[in-house]
Each structure stands twice: as structure tokens, then as C-alpha cells.
Amino acid sequence: MSFIKKFIEQETINRRNLLLGAAYGVGGLVAAKTLGAGSAQAALTDPAVAWSYRNRTNPYWNEIVSGGEAFVESLGKSKDFLTHLINEGSSEKSLSDVKSLLAKTNGNLALAIDTNDAPNARPVVESVAEAGAYVSTLWNKTDDLHPWDFGDNYVSHMSWSDEGPAEKTARILLDAMGGKGGVVHLGGIASNNPAIERLNGLKNALKDYPDVELLDAQPADWDTQKANQVMSSFLTRYGDEITGVHCANDTIAYGVLEALRAEGIEDMPIVSYDGNPQAVDLVGQGKILATVFTNPHWGGGITAALAYHAAIGSFKPSEEPNEHREFYGPTVFITPDDAAEFKKSFIENVPTYDWTDFWGPSNGQIMYK
């Protein structure tokens, strides 16, 4: 199947109906009691636009922020108009930076943010709503936190349905292992939603491979150096028992590859996630069996666009259906067969997006928990 055939996991109709029932039933009751819900608010005038993220040295986050910059340039502004709040993986810094910017702008702010871990999402959203600003979140929030509970100020949340794609990469890995042996998993920050779901994807696949043992699963904090250390310790502890490696993202895979090379191991089956340019090259070379692209450039731009256009009154979030406020983004599966085509279409030639087509590539894929 060509990579252009986007792999967006199709969920069961019963679970979709469960979400909609909760969203339009319980959610509607909660909204009347929640901070800022139902209150009228004037549109902001020329709000500041900010992106709060981990760091720009990570290729994934560099693509996220490049999308944010492309969006502000579409407004006729310099990319320097975008304010960068870099938290370096600290939820405490993330919240502190947001509060400081809210005070500096007097709430005249459109914020796009990955809150770094799920529990940090609520205090961020509450601070934004209290200040009369607008926020769209990406990736991390708790299951009980929903945009529709905060009137218009909490504009949207986008995540990706990671279990399905991670399970698919795991099956490729387990087949490459011959359906037997030992696999290790190196994950992200333990409390991150995607880290949890990507490990679950591996565990789901393992149910059909009784002769494969999950030797160990440890967080590597989405970090190459940490992954190198974790993989080195795995090799010391398990040695030849390890016959395959499941990585929660590409930057983890880079650290794993370095640890393996240090031990003279060149042919270990590995899968990863994110579709970063270096990883796509490694897939093309057969050094990584598969990765999954979540289109971070589009995700970064559209998250900022949603917050900004809600802030200036281009649309009213509370009048949108819930599937426009909490939804899955698109994913593309990359294997050696289509890595070259993918690289040409998405890396060498970054697509131009209409930043007012708010839910276009996502196809309105409904989130559920």
C-alpha cells in the first residue's frame, strides 16, 4: 500500500457512540459549572501567538514549530512574531512560562502547547481561561479534561491514535524476529499519552506471538542520549536474548543504533515512530524496518491556527461539534518500499497548507478514551 494511503486507525462504532454520548450528555452538564463555560467574550485584537514545546533540537519538535512559523507568515507577519516557550521537558517550567506570558500580554494571547505531560494540561488550561486567552493543546491531557468544558477559551485538543500504528510496527518487528526471541521497548516520558499508547501497541501485538518474550520496557524520555544509556544497560543485562527493539520514537532509535554499533551489532531488527527525515533515510537503507509519520508541520501550524482564529473571532469553538474540538490527527506508515516516495513528497517538498482548513487532513477522526 502506498504511503499516500494515510493510515488513520478506524475505531469501532460502539466506542464512537460512547464518546458522542458522553460528549453531548455528561459534557453538556459539566460545561455549565466549569470555569468560563457559556460566558460571552469579545474577540481579541491582534493577539500574541505562542508555541510551548520541549525543545527545537529534536527533529520532531523542530517540524512542529516550523508549522507554527508557517502559519504566522500566512498572516503576513514575520516568523519572529511567534513567541517560543521552550520547557526542555519540564512541566513546571511549561506552566510557569505560560503564566508569565499571560501576565505580560494581559491575556491577549493565542497559545498552542504540548503541556509535556498529561497532568499539566489542566492547570495550563485553567490559567489561560481565567486570563481570557485562548489555547489549543497537542498530544497530552488527562482523560477527564475536555475543551467543551471551558466555553471558547479551550479551543481544541489534537492527539494521534498511537496504539494501532504502534501495533502495526510491532508486528513487522516480531515477524522480522521470526516470531520468537526477546524484544525490549524504549519509551517516552512515562506519563505521556503517546508513550503509554505506543507501549500498549507492542503489548497488543505480543498477544499473537507466544514465543516472543518482552524482556524489559523502560522510559527513555524521548531523548537520544538517554536511549543510548538504556539500550546499553539492556545489552549488558540481556545480551544475546535481545533479538528485536521497539522504539517509541525516532530519536530514541538513533540512540539505540549507536548503542548497538558500539557492541558491533549491525543487523538488529528495529522499528520506531515519528517519520523524522533521518529516520526515513534509515528506513530506506533498511536499518529501521518501519516508522510512522504524524505530519508535525501540519500539526504545529493548525494547532496555532485554531487558537488564533478562535481568539480573533473567526469562528466560535463552542458552536462547533465536539469532534472539531477533540480529534485525532492523520498518520502515514513508512516502510522501505515507500520511503523514497515519502521523502520526495513530504521532506524535500514540504506541502503548502491552507491554515483556515482547520480539520482538513485529520478528517475529523473522533477521539475516545
Average pLDDT over residues 306-331: 94
- pLDDT above 90 for 321: yes
| Cα distance between residue 44 and residue 266, in whole Å | 56
Is a pLDDT exceeding 60 seen at residue 12? Answer: no
pLDDT at residue 118 in the model = 92
Q: What is the pTM of this model?
A: 0.79
Least confident of 23-37, 41-55, 62-76, 237-251: 23-37
Max Cα-Cα span within the chain: 64
Selected residue with higher pLDDT from 330 and 61: 61
- Over residues 184-242, the pLDDT tens digits come to 999 999 888 899 999 999 999 999 999 999 999 999 999 999 999 999 999 999 999 99
Instruction: Please tell me if the domain spanning 3-160+295-330 has the same topology as the one spanning 163-293.
Output: yes
Bridge-based pairing of strands 134-138 and 154-159 is parallel
Task: Judge contact between 107 and 41, C-beta under 8 A.
Answer: no
- The whole-number pLDDT of residue 359 equals 77
pLDDT of residue 17: 29
Residues 22-46 have pLDDT tens digits of 232 323 322 322 334 434 566 899 9
Distance, in Å, from the CA atom of 366 to the CA atom of 158, rounded to the nearest integer, reads 10
Distance CA 182, CA 239 (A): 10
pLDDT of 5 reads 29
Mean pLDDT (the chain, rounded): 87
CB–CB of 155/135 below 8 Å?
Answer: yes
pLDDT at position 41, please? 65
- In terms of pLDDT, which residue wins out, 260 or 368? 260
Tell me the CA end-to-end span of the chain in Å, nearest whole number: 29
CA distances (Å), origin 187, targets 78, 175, 228, 260, 291: 37, 21, 12, 17, 15
CB 142 within 8 A of CB 118: yes
The band of 349, judged by pLDDT with boundaries at 50, 70 and 90, is confident
pLDDT at 158 over 50: yes
The predicted structure's pLDDT at residue 13: 24
> Distance between alpha carbon 55 and the CA centroid of its chain, in Å?
14
Fold for the domain defined by 163-293: Rossmann fold (3.40.50)
* Residue 361, pLDDT score: 64
Strands 181-187 and 212-219: parallel
DSSP string for 42-61: PPPSS-EEEEEES-SSSHHH
Specify the CATH number of the domain 3-160+295-330.
3.40.50.2300
Q: What is the pLDDT of residue 68?
A: 97
Q: What is the pLDDT of residue 347?
A: 86
- Give the distance, in angstroms, between the CA of residue 37 and the centroid of all CA atoms in the same chain: 27
Q: Where are the domains of the chain?
A: 3-160+295-330, 163-293
